[in-house]
Amino acid sequence: MKRLSHLRWLAPLLLAALAPTSWGQAGLPAKLTHPDLTREAVQLVGLRDGRLSYFDSNRALREADAKDLVELRLGGDSPSEVDMNPQQRAVLMLADGQRFYGRWLQSGRDTQEEEGTGIAWEHATMGRLRVPLDRVAGIAQPPNAADLLAGQAGLASDVVVLTNGDRVGGFVESITDEQLRLLPDGADAAVALPRDRVRAVLLANPPIPLPSVGYLVTLRDGTRVRAQTFTLTRDAAELTLPTDLRPDSQPGEAVETVQLAADQITAVAMLDSGLRLIDLTSLPREVTDGGEVFGLPAAPVVEPEGSLWLHAPVELVFRLPPGAVRFAADAELALDDDVPAAARPLADVNITADGGDAASQVTLDADHPRERLGTSLTTDILRLHIDPAARGPILDRVRLRNARVLVQTTAR
């Protein structure tokens, strides 16, 4: 049986080798991100037991250790082709960066855990999960649930966002089916807030480093989950959940295997590499200059697919995590389809990324609407300047796709 398993794994390679003219159909379109943040377009044949097989741009069949890469991204450059808008669903974010789109459940009183000390959650593919409160970074209800959690990092105390928009700081003692108990900052006694009045909870739990082993898998619905093992072929994927994400119906279950169609996977981060890519939009940020055009507000916006929309002139400062070594993004003019062709040449903008000792600049205009932006990072902040070029701020709208910060998690 073991030999047959190996033959099944080799079959796609043999078929591809015998049919070189069908290179485009031999695997999954993918991009490999290397440790220097360069990207390589390939046709992926599969990933199994920590080894990737793929065809490079010269149609040569290659193999590589997963730990020698930072990330594998399937399909396009960004996971914008989601089947469902993640901003219209609830999101659970963990202190180690995992996130789950789905539904906040009742607590499950038949479990053996103390009521109120954990979050019960349902994901469309992975089923029911339960996470202790001390491992939760935040939980939010739609619409725009992810935006409500964007400023979680660096909180001095917990924050509860109510359905009327009010924000109350303090310490969340417990969350049950009926209520959330919060000790407000400066108060002597806790207050009970009906759970149906709570839109989001941001917990000031310290960040938890992901283990430098396994994979961080991003699904097409926006979910990002750590997998102890991961296998991918042209048609199917299989991952094993870690022990801290127990099925709610089976407390104590060691490992849960999840099987998915391959087209449900958008990205796979290689935790064994000792490097990790972090979405820039997940980091604490502050607008330090600009943010309005001709007297009207034009604040930065995190779009549903995770891109960052900006209008010049504006300056943003992002607080970087320890170990951040490099930043990169795909910058493009963000002109709507209804902008007349005659007006498009008015859009011209300079973008500068300042990471401390080094800074880089790109200019976008009608002749160069897209450029790769990147710089090394030597301080604990990244400063982005979006400035009008020769023609002023008219139509100077920019979109940063795949804006990522590379963090070194272990010595290489």
Question: What does 220-235 look like in DSSP terms, one character per residue?
Answer: TTS-EEEESSEEE-SS
Selection from 92, 11, 96 nearest residue 46 by Cα: 11
Q: Amino acid letter at 306?
A: G
Closest CA to 360 of 370, 368, 371: 371
pLDDT greater at residue 195 or residue 113:
195
Mean pLDDT of 54-63: 94
pLDDT in tens, 158-216: 999 999 999 999 999 988 888 999 999 999 999 999 999 999 999 999 888 888 889 99
Mean pLDDT score, 227-238: 94
In angstroms, the CA 101 to CA 83 distance is 13
Q: Return the higher-pLDDT residue of 118 and 245.
A: 118
- Which among 304, 328, 311 has a CA at the least distance from the CA of 146? 304
- Specify the fold of 2-74: SH3 type barrels. (2.30.30)
Annotate 118-139 with b (16+ C-beta within 10 A) or e (fewer): bbbbebebbebbbbebebbbbb
pLDDT band at 79 (very low <50, low <70, confident <90, very high): very low
* Residue 181 CA neighbour count, 13 Å, CB half: 9
Query: pLDDT higher for 351 or 357?
Result: 351
SS3 211: coil
User: Tokens representing 103?
Assistant: 């539904």
pLDDT confidence band for 128 (50 / 70 / 90): confident
Amino acid 303: pLDDT: 86
Helix residue ranges, H only, 50-133 = none
The per-residue pLDDT for 75 is 80
Tell me the pLDDT band of 6, cut-offs 50, 70 and 90: very low
At the top level of CATH, which class does the domain 279-408 belong to? mainly beta
Tell me, what's the pLDDT at 227?
Answer: 93
- pLDDT over threshold 70, residue 4: no
72 contacts 260 by C-beta, under 8 angstroms: no
Helix (H, G, I), strand (E, B) or coil at 3: helix
Q: Using pLDDT thresholds of 50, 70 and 90, give the confidence band for residue 7.
A: very low
- Summarised one tens digit per residue, pLDDT across range 355-408 is 998 899 999 999 999 999 999 999 999 999 999 988 888 888 999 998 999 999
| Host H or E run for residue 14 | helix 2-18
Mean pLDDT of the chain: 84
pLDDT band of residue 8 (cuts 50, 70, 90) is: very low
Give the residue with greater pLDDT, 286 vs 114: 286
- Domain residue limits, the chain: 2-74, 86-202, 279-408
User: How confident is residue 76, by pLDDT bands cut at 50, 70 and 90?
Assistant: low
According to the model, what pLDDT value does residue 411 have? 64
CB 55 within 8 A of CB 27: yes
Of 201, 190, 119, residue with least CA distance to 155:
201
To the nearest whole percent, how much of the chain has pLDDT over 70?
83
d(CA 112, CA 251): 8
